[in-house]
Structure 1
Amino acid sequence: MRQKLENRSFLLLLLLVSIAFGLLLKPFWGAIFWAAAVAVIFYPLQNFFLRKFGNRRNLAALTTLLCCVLIVVMPVILIVQQVVSEAIGLYQAIQQGEITPGAYLDQIRAAFPVIPEFLDRIGVDTDNMRERLSNFAVTASRFLAQETLTVGQNTVGFVLSLCLMLYLSFFLLRDGHSLVELMVKALPLGDEREHRLFDKFAEVTRATVKGNILVAIVQGALGGIIFWILGLPAALLWGVLMAVLSLIPAVGAALVWGPAAIYLFAVGSWIPGTVLLLFGVLVIGLADNILRPILVGRDTKLPDYLVLFSTLGGIALMGINGFVLGPLVAALFLTFWDIFMIEFNDEQSSPY
């Protein structure tokens, strides 16, 4: 009886201490998650350097981390700097009246009268829409300026989080296998199940990060290039916005190039509008439809519809990290049920 009481008390304290430790690390969960993602993605490169350097783990991890900085971190920082510059220019143009969203809407209404007629039929007040669009542009530009100022003020915090992520990534690359084995020993789920869950975590994280980011880079680059060729302003800014929105499967980048094509048609630029429309549908759209199932759906072994809903749900609940965490939760959900069906229902196979 005393032994049971001691065991229950110990488990309760273990749970409380674990929760307290999790809350203690809460400010750094973003850095910890991306450090784990970096370690998972670059672990094959770490193994390559281990073979080259004769199993010198510190040197291999340091070299792998340097490759990560050169390939990923530095280009992202340079692009962000340029995007901030273009965003400030756009904000100033809106504030000075050089860009008037309400006038753009009037041009579209004049060029396509069927659109306001249809909206009026379904009860949408287009005059009120013009005022709302103008107010939204002012609010958005003010928000953009405030966020730019905030980014500048939080540079120290960003650099600190980046350094913490890289620092932790080094140890996860160097000691990742040992840490996984330690967690397998600690968790009371059964070693075989735990190895399977960790393998699924690595598989899905690697597929979603590499796949989604590669699709985002391709769509953003294609969108930015066509905007630049057609002479549209702030091409890099819109390209980056298309890259970010492309994390939303199926419709992401079209939220940028679609309205731009409509505007070109409205102002009588039929050739540029047609080029942008065809390029958006046949090139940018196909890049998403072809690459995402290959890079994300196939490697995660998730159906396309589940990738879509889990990504949207993840982004809605967890922000930008959700494009990885959403499919990861979905994959672990299916894995747990697969284990349950095999071990508890005597099922020998799963549809996933």
Structure 2
Amino acid sequence: MIPPEQTPSEDSLRTRRLQRAASAVLYTVLVAIALWTVRAFIPAVVWAAVIAIALWPALGWLEERPRFRKHGTWLAIGLTAAIGLLFVVPFAVVATQAASEARDMMHWFHEVLRSGIPMPALIDRLPVGSHQIAAWWQENLATPLGSSPAVHNLHSATVVAMTRHLGGRVVHGLVIFGFMLVTLFFLFQAGSRLGEQLFAASRRAFGADGAMLARRMADSVRSTVVGLVVVGLGEGALLGIAYAIAGVPHATLLGMLTAVAAMLPFCAPIVFLGAALWLLANGATVAAIGVAAFGLIVVFVAEHFVRPVLIGGSTRLPFLLVLFGILGGAETFGLVGLFIGPALMTILVVLWTDWVRR
């Protein structure tokens, strides 16, 4: 050992710096290898982290209740089962509805193959382009589809390949969903201790600013989940009631589809305007106008008043950056990017604020 009155030599200091640099490189390589090894399960972990962050305040509140204080495992099982049912039940409803109508759909499909799809009378009443659309429809869809130019390239090999690809994607999605639930269970089982450890690690590695940034990112993810999911479910419920009143078939199923579409900014009109066009094509003009007008009012209020407050208010993020984060995140990272994008925009705003103040 070096006596207290002596200072380390330059060679000793150089050796320590090289050792620290080598350790940093080694740690980086090991982390990269570990991430590469589990790369197939990263989407499941990210989804579990997003859901856990969104439910973390509720988890902390439940952990403080005497009933769950000593039963953390059962609490984790209950929350994980509830999340699983929240995803499984809508898909089960859709599958049941599809199975109950499979016979009618097959009968309609065989009729279409034999005689084609009749042109709706609505096309003749279009103010612009009715003749061009009618000519294309008569040439491609009104004739038996077996000889139609529009479906000439859809031979059996193509259909088999598309079906195989779709089946593979469905199986892959189910596997990711299963591992997401497993990961979510262990996150819930760790409880609030895990959150405290993560914030402590951020503070130790990056200082107080790093811990603050981590909290802002978590708040951004949580508010985005609330803004997208809760507002989407609200729009779907309101428009589902409108579909039922207007006489649109399968109003419950269409309301679920509207809720999913409403979680993406400005996508709900695709569904309710399609329902309005269906009503208009069947002669229900007043009902079609009512569904379209009510849907536009609901979407306008949700997109311009409710969602900006829920997403941008708690994170102090301008709604334009929220919108860019949602759309850019979805394009870059897929569906989970809807929640990652605003968190990245939060980092950008925090870094910009710190740089301006210095």
Query: What is the TM-score with the length of structure 1 in the denominator?
Result: 0.78
- Alpha-carbon distance between aligned partners in 2 of 1:55 and 1:257, rounded to the nearest angstrom: 43
Aligned with 1:196 (options 199, 206, 212): 212
Indicate how the Cα distance of structure 1 residues 314 and 108 shifts in structure 2: closer, same or farther if over 3 A, else same. farther
1:327 positional shift: 1.0
Indicate how the Cα distance of structure 1 residues 298 and 156 shifts in structure 2: closer, same or farther if over 3 A, else same. closer
Q: Deviations over 1:227-248 (max 9, x none)?
A: 2333323333322222222122
**In percent, how many aligned pairs have the same letter?**
22
CA contact (8 A) 1:39 1:172 kept: no
CA contact (8 A) 1:83 1:236 kept: no
CA contact (8 A) 1:108 1:263 kept: no
Indicate how the Cα distance of structure 1 residues 63 and 213 shifts in structure 2: closer, same or farther if over 3 A, else same. same
Query: What is the aligned partner in structure 2 of residue 59 from structure 1?
Result: 71
1:316 aligns with 2:331: yes
CA contact (8 A) 1:109 1:115 kept: no
Aligned with 1:165 (options 163, 167, 184): 184
1:127 aligns with 2:136: yes
1:317 positional shift: 1.5
Indicate how the Cα distance of structure 1 residues 289 and 269 shifts in structure 2: closer, same or farther if over 3 A, else same. same
CA contact (8 A) 2:258 2:268 kept: yes
**Amino acid across the alignment from 1:63:** L
1:179 aligns with 2:194: no
1:285 positional shift: 3.9
1:61 positional shift: 6.7
- Alpha-carbon distance between aligned partners in 2 of 1:36 and 1:162, rounded to the nearest angstrom: 11
Unaligned regions of 5+ residues in structure 2, if any? Answer: 1-13
1:3 aligns with 2:16: yes
Q: Deviations over 1:186-237 (max 9, x none)?
A: x2x3x11111111111110110012210011111222223223333233333
CA contact (8 A) 2:202 2:214 kept: no
1:2 positional shift: 3.0
1:19 partner SS: helix
Aligned with 2:341 (options 326, 330, 342): 326
Query: What is the TM-score with the length of structure 2 in the denominator?
Result: 0.77
Aligned-residue Cα RMSD (Å) equals: 3.6
Unaligned regions of 5+ residues in structure 1, if any? Answer: 347-352
1:34 aligns with 2:53: no
Query: What is the aligned partner in structure 1 of residue 279 from structure 2?
Result: 264
1:108 partner SS: helix
Matched residue count:
329
1:248 partner SS: coil
Indicate how the Cα distance of structure 1 residues 272 and 75 shifts in structure 2: closer, same or farther if over 3 A, else same. same
What are the residue-to-residue correspondences of 1:102-141 with 2, within 5 Å?
A: 103=117, 106-112=120-126, 114-116=127-129, 127=136, 131=140
1:20 positional shift: 1.2
- Alpha-carbon distance between aligned partners in 2 of 1:311 and 1:159, rounded to the nearest angstrom: 25
CA contact (8 A) 1:46 1:61 kept: no
Aligned with 2:319 (options 294, 304, 309): 304
